[in-house]
Amino acid sequence: MTQLYTPTQGIEVIKYESFAQIDQTRLKATINSSFQSQGKELLPNYFGTTQPLGIYVVGDYIAGAITKDLEDTTVYLCKFFVHPEFEGKGIGKILLKHVLGDLGIEPNNNHGTAIILRTDPKNKKSNILYLNEFFNHFGGSYNVESSNGEHKWAVHQIGLEGEDLERKVKFVADLPITMVPVNGSQTITKAPELPQ
């Protein structure tokens, strides 16, 4: 089943429930293009090993997000990406509003749903989006290190507190990585057209 959102800006966001419903090649190309500036690419077996809660695709695969169930009523925002040719146009902000709205989260009221995500602290664009647009209004952000000391993360969340917050921040910091260093050179694929 898919759900279609058409915000006032005319950009369509379609939600899918399974990777079988999407064009995996195109989705992977957009994810890899989005992370190319960080020298990272998606794990080759990501689609086969990940059970999504929701896959959000903007327009003609110009941006997207992937959510997963973490536990209880907590959702993990596993992937959030915008093709580099469409950065700075407000698409990430629109997409994030849709993901939060689909989960029932609105400013100052999360309706019992929690969301958590992690980003590379060096990924300034993403961290600014999460901090300035949404998370600092009714959530929190934390700098953490994985328990083995190999990875540092900025963890952003909404709706968690107390021991549950502390436990889930540590849990998310230790989740397996899904983006790995690029082997060899990779070029950005040509972006699809922005919907009119």
What mean pLDDT, rounded, does the chain reach?
Answer: 85
79 φ, ψ (degrees, to nearest 5): -140, 140
* Residue 90 counted as domain residue: yes
User: Identity (one letter) of the amino acid at 59?
Assistant: G
Q: What is the dihedral of CA 130, 131, 133, 138, to 10 degrees?
A: 100
Structural domain including 114 reads 3-181
Residue ranges with strand state E in the chain: 3-5, 13-16, 40-42, 54-58, 63-71, 74-82, 114-119, 139-145, 152-158, 179-181
Which band of pLDDT confidence, cut at 50, 70 and 90, is reported for residue 18? very high
Q: Tens of pLDDT along 35-91?
A: 998 999 999 999 999 999 999 999 999 999 999 999 888 999 999 999 999 988 889
* Residue 35 counted as domain residue: yes
Say yes or no to pLDDT of 1 above 90: no
pLDDT computed for residue 24 by the predictor: 97
Q: How many domains does the chain have?
A: 1
User: Identity (one letter) of the amino acid at 10?
Assistant: G
* Residue 164 counted as domain residue: yes
Among 22, 72, 24, 30, residue whose Cα is nearest residue 191: 30
Can you name the residues that pair with 74 across neighbouring β-strands? 71, 114
* Residue 188 counted as domain residue: no
d(CA 99, CA 165): 21
* Residue 47 counted as domain residue: yes
Which band of pLDDT confidence, cut at 50, 70 and 90, is reported for residue 2? low
d(CA 50, CA 28): 13
CATH of the domain at 114: 3.40.630.30
* Residue 41 counted as domain residue: yes
pLDDT computed for residue 193 by the predictor: 54
Could you tell me whether strands 40-42 and 179-181 are parallel, antiparallel, or unpaired per DSSP bridges? antiparallel
* Residue 187 counted as domain residue: no
| CB-based contact 107:73 (threshold 8 Å) | no
Q: Tens of pLDDT along 119-134?
A: 888 887 776 777 666 5
* Residue 194 counted as domain residue: no
